[in-house]
A and B are shown apart, each in its own frame.
Chain A
């Protein structure tokens, strides 16, 4: 089997970190690059966090390209549940790995352009605001043909928003970027709060991850424990939703997910509903679907998958 080439666009972020650590030990995935963006934290910090996670996961071979320093139009907003550094209470060593000289947008234009020319498209995993890929699409629209699909975490359909009444954080952080991406005709798999709120990482799960994760067990447990929202009335139990890691889970085990096709629109004009994701479930728009929206997730299957992945760190093994 040939590994699926992917680029992970991210803004670590605790759940981004868990997603990266899972991807690092998945030989099914060929990680071409990581492209951190301004999002949960300012760009300097998301880059630093990405480099630290690469070192933690033993994947210093993966190049990191620093992305956009701010959203396209709106003023930046930051994540609220990731702690001061963006990685909870962890205290990872200062990274010796460095980001590449080239910027992430330039890298995406060049690398996706090459993928388009060679007809070897790359899957893009979007875990943060979609500024980097939106910029790349506007600089050179032909990069779209270099993208096999975008698997993204963001949005909220039948579920309310998590940052405003109607908006999920990644979409609110750069709604114009999201609009550009969702207008690009690139096939999209959308993991919105509708999906991620079905997979709550409980304190009990955290103990299981700590038990299996070998040399990174301490950090993984710290990250996951920090993620506990302690909001039982909202999530049905203690714990926090496993947002970004679901992108990796979908790539590895799509059978754990049910999807429905729909056209997705991004509100980028109204202040009240800014960043709202609107799904055309019943073809009212007359436009063809641009996404598969994940509607159901086999939560225990996903947890079991991640436990299996994290247990690979016992062997000190890098994929």
Chain B
């Protein structure tokens, strides 16, 4: 089986934690590294959280690197759950795992250029503000060529915003970076609020995460309970979304999702800064620059996330050794 070489660009963050654990639990991936960006929480806390997560998943072989501490141009805005800070030690055990010395931005650029030079490509799962990816693309014109696609969580098209009336957080936090990435010519798959709001995780899922006694599953369930993401008024039913994990899930099981290829863009400033538009009905002459996902098989997505993470490090000997071999 040939594994998908992937960089996880992330600002953990609780839903990032789910995405990272899902990726580390999936033998389909060769996780080249975790490039961390300031976003949901500050850069230092994000890096600490990423380090805790690789230790939790017993994957300290995956390098964690610090990237951009600030958005490209605008004023810094943190996530709604800034108070998450560094994951509480009672939920995610402390670790002595240290981040790598290398800059996450240079890592992305070097991995992409090296791949491109050898006629290979890498995939990027982007789950935070796009600052790291945008800076990497600007470092050298060859970087774009080495990227197969960027699967990203961000934007809100038919859904309204969740941070301002019109803006989704990852885009709002660095709209200029989003513009750079979206106009880079690299194929994009967008998981916007339109689709991430369709899958809501409830207590039954949290219990499922813990069912096999996996430390990763227990930690994630604990985080999801402590930082309740439900909003019955908005979603019309109980449960909360786990936005970021959809990027990883799309790479694992694209058949769970459907969407359209369309032109997308972002507003850089003013009261609607961070608003994203998608030309779903072909009203512009611009050619499509993204695959905008608008539907998910909710039950199958929840099952994928829950089962994979519940099995991560759980005592199922055969599966476990198989994973270890793949990761070696």
Q: Are the C-beta atoms of B139 and A138 separated by less than 8 Å?
A: no
Among A70, A106, A109, A138, max chain B CB count under 10 A is at A138
Given A73-B176, A138-B131, does the pair A180, B69 have CB atoms closer than 8 Å? no
Can you name 5 A-B residue pairings with CB atoms under 8 Å?
Answer: A131-B138, A138-B70, A138-B135, A139-B105, A176-B73
Q: Provided the pairs A106-B106, A139-B105, A269-B268 are in contact, do residues A68 and B72 lie with their beta carbons within 8 angstroms?
A: no
Chain A residues, Cβ within 8 Å of B235: none
Q: Which B positions have Cβ atoms within 8 angstroms of A? A: 68-70, 72-73, 103, 105-106, 131, 135, 138-141, 176, 179-180, 268-270
Q: A135 touches which one: B69, B70, B139, B270 (CB < 8 A)?
A: B139
What's the interface size class on A, roughly? 20 to 34
- B176–chain A nearest beta-carbon distance, Å: 6
Task: Identify the closest chain A residue to B136 (Cβ).
Answer: A139
Which residues from B are CB-within-8-Å of A138? Answer: 68, 70, 72, 131, 135
Task: Decide: A135 and B138 in contact? CB cutoff 8 A.
Answer: yes
Asked if B139 and A106 make an inter-chain contact with CB atoms under 8 angstroms apart, the answer reads yes
- Complex interface: chain B residues within 8 A of A269 (CB): 268-270
Are B139 and A180 in touch, CB under 8 angstroms? no
List chain A positions with a Cβ less than 8 A from chain B. 68-70, 72-73, 103, 105-106, 109, 131, 135, 138-141, 176, 179-180, 268-269
Q: A103 to B139, Cβ gap below 8 A?
A: yes
A109 contacts B103, C-beta separation under 8 Å: yes
Q: Do B180 and A72 touch (CB < 8 A)?
A: yes
Complex: A287 Cα to B139 Cα, angstroms: 32
Q: Which of B68, B106, B180, B269 is packed against the most chain A CB atoms within 10 Å?
A: B106
Q: What is the CB-to-nearest-CB distance from B134 to chain A, in angstroms, rounded to a whole number?
A: 8
- Known contacts A103-B140, A138-B72, A139-B103: does B176 contact A176 (CB below 8 Å)? yes
- Rounded to whole Å, the gap between the CB of A174 and the closest CB of chain B is 11
Q: Shortest Cβ distance from A39 into chain B, in angstroms?
A: 15
CA distance A176 to B68 in the complex (A): 16
- Determine if A69 and B268 form an interchain contact, defined as CB atoms under 8 angstroms apart: no
When chains A and B are docked, how far (Å) is the Cα of A261 from the Cα of B106? 36
With a cutoff of 8 Å between Cβ atoms, the chain A residues found around residue B176 in the complex are 72-73, 176
CB distance from A37 to the nearest CB of B (A): 12
Distance, CA A180 to CA B75, complexed state (A): 11
- Cβ A105 vs Cβ B139 within 8 A: yes
A72 touches B72 (CB 8 A): yes
